[in-house]
């Protein structure tokens, strides 16, 4: 059976409905999903929303790599992953993951693997908006840029990484 992957970075709050249609298959007996939503508090502060930002190309590349790794670990899965970008309100969906599989264990395990890897590896930056009108950037995933043999992290332009 052909593997199916859908990944996207979308502006605004996400809708989980298309995820289930994408991963559904008559030979699959399980769909596991994860929907991350903006919560109304963080570390004792009242939150009104969140701004998500990313470099679309780098984020999509990382999402695709994670999905391919999941397919290598769990055979015969269909994967849907979308991450939001822009300003979201409390309760809005910021990430939607669905995995269809013939068996529930693989669906659950692949879904968990994908969200954990997204949190570690996908360059998405979050700015929390607080009820009192202030805002703060939250720690995110580190952007790993491979260094060239000269030690330059900019792609090998000869600047020596300066």
CA distance 63 to 68: 9
pTM of the model: 0.85
pLDDT digits 0-9 by tens, 76-108: 999 999 999 999 999 999 999 999 999 999 999
Question: Which residues are within 8 A (CB) of 133 and not within 5 positions of it... i.e. 6 or more apart?
Answer: none
Q: Which residue reads 């790794």 in tokens?
A: 69
The chain-wide mean pLDDT, for the chain, equals 89
Q: What is the pLDDT of residues 29-53, one digit of tens each?
A: 999 999 999 999 999 999 999 999 9
Q: How far is CA 74 from CA 4, 100, 109, 131, 138, in A?
A: 13, 11, 8, 43, 32
**DSSP per residue over 66-79, as a string?**
HHHHHHHHSSS-EE
């Amino acid at each position: 059976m052909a593997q199916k992957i859908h990944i996207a970075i979308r502006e605004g709050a996400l809708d989980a409905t298309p995820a289930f249609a994408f991963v559904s298959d008559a030979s699959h007996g399980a769909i596991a999903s994860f929907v991350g939503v903006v919560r109304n508090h963080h570390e004792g502060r009242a939150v009104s929303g969140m701004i998500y930002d990313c470099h679309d190309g780098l984020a999509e590349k990382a999402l695709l790599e994670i999905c391919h790794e999941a397919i290598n670990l769990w055979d015969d899965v269909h994967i849907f992953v979308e991450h939001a970008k822009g300003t979201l309100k409390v309760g809005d969906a910021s990430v939607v993951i669905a995995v269809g599989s013939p068996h529930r264990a693989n669906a659950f395990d692949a879904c968990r693997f994908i969200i954990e890897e997204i949190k570690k590896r996908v360059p998405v930056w979050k700015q929390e908006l607080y009820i009192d009108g202030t805002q703060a950037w939250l720690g995110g995933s580190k952007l790993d840029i491979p260094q060239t043999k000269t030690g330059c992290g900019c792609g090998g332009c000869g600047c020596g990484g300066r």
